[in-house]
């Protein structure tokens, strides 16, 4: 087990440990979900600054749903960190920070107290756009190429879990991921930027 955990790249590993640890603390009733969710009123008005982070760590109680989300982090965050961001840990941290900031900024428009699933879904979208030729088997039923994966998952959530409200977290994750991909990949290619690089630059302090 120690070897398996050690093989996970550091940023992804830290996120998984934080997610599992948060759920364990809630399960042991040492903390309550009400202390973790995000709202600007509590985070800024009451100076409960930890809510800026805990909203991205809590995926729910110990359950199959938690395992499902951890699988998504384990797979797609790891693939991004090991491939697109290989030897670029600061850039990957900055990617997570930008997507998290986007989600926090639009959170007043939504009823999403926890943004962890949306952040994880943003990574799924980014990975799918950067690997357009990869073919995947969706639930062992149909074969699709990677760019269709996020949309198929949204459709399944919409149809099987309760309409728009069940899928809204995934949808805003797509918006966050697409904003990053547009600025970093599409915009420079379309506008023929002189540098040939994306518009997003990781600050030196990171």
**Does any domain span residue 18?**
no
Q: Rounded to an integer, what distance in angstroms lies between the CA atom of residue 199 and that of residue 85?
A: 16
Domain count, the chain: 1
42-89, pLDDT tens digit by residue?
999 899 999 999 999 999 888 888 888 888 888 899 999 999 888 888
Instruction: Confirm whether 200 is domain-assigned.
Output: no
In a domain, 133, yes or no: yes
- Which uninterrupted H or E stretch holds 138? strand 135-138
Establish if 39 belongs to a structural domain.
Answer: no
Domain membership of residue 21 (yes or no) is no
3-state secondary structure of 86: coil
Distance between CA atoms of residues 109 and 129, nearest Å: 26
| Prediction pTM value | 0.88
In a domain, 78, yes or no: yes
Cβ–Cβ < 8 Å for 62, 24: yes
Distance of CA 164 to the CA centre of its chain: 19
Does 54 map to a domain? no
Q: Which domain covers residue 87, as residue numbers?
A: 61-191
**Residue 5 placed within a domain:** no
pLDDT, tens digit, 9 for 90 and up, residues 99-147? 999 999 998 888 888 999 999 999 999 999 999 888 887 767 788 888 8
Cβ atoms of 15 and 77 closer than 8 Å: yes
């Amino acid at each position: 087990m120690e070897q398996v955990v050690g093989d996970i790249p550091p940023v992804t590993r830290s996120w998984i440990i934080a997610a599992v640890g948060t759920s364990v603390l809630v399960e042991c009733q040492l903390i309550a979900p009400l202390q973790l969710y995000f709202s600007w009123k509590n985070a800024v008005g009451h100076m409960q600054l930890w809510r800026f982070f805990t909203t991205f760590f809590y995926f729910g109680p110990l359950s199959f749903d938690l395992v499902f989300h951890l699988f998504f982090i384990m797979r797609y965050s790891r693939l991004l960190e090991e491939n697109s961001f290989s030897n670029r840990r600061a850039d990957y941290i900055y990617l997570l920070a930008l997507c998290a900031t986007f989600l926090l900024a639009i959170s007043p428009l939504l009823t999403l107290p926890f943004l962890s699933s949306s952040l994880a879904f943003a990574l799924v979208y980014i990975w799918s756009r950067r690997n357009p030729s990869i073919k995947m088997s969706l639930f062992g039923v149909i074969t699709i190429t990677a760019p269709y994966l996020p949309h198929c998952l949204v459709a399944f959530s919409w149809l099987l879990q309760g309409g728009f409200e069940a899928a809204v977290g995934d949808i805003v994750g797509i918006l966050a991921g697409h904003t990053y991909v547009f600025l970093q990949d599409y915009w420079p290619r379309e506008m023929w930027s002189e540098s040939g690089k994306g518009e997003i630059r990781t600050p030196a302090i990171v």
